[in-house]
Structure 1
Amino acid sequence: MVQEVVKPVITSLKTSIPKGEVISPIKSKPVTSFIKTKSINKPNIGLNKGVERIKTINSNLKGRIHQETGIKFQTKEVITGEGKIVSGEFPNFNKVSVQNTTLPKELIKAPTKLDIRNQNKFCTNTLKTKLDKNPEHYLKQFREANDQLIKDGKNYFHNKELNMEQMLEKQKNDISNPTSAEGGNVFGFSWHHHEKMGKMQLVPNGVHDKVRHTGGYDIWSK
Structure 2
Amino acid sequence: MLTVHHLNNSRSQRVLWLLEELGLPYDIVHYQRDPQTMLAPASLRAVHPLGKSPVVTTDDGLVLAESGAILETLIERHGQGRFAPAPGTPEALRYRYWMHFAEGTAMSPLLLKLVFDRIEGSRMPFFVKPIARTIAAKAKAAFIVPNIESHLSFMEAELGKSEWFAGGEFTAADIQMSFPVEAAQARGGLDAKRPRLMAYLARIHARPAYQRALERGGPYGLLS
- Give TM-score scaled by structure 2 length: 0.29
By percentage of residues, which structure has more helix? 2
Q: Structure 1-normalised TM-score?
A: 0.29
The structure that is strand-richer by fraction is: 1
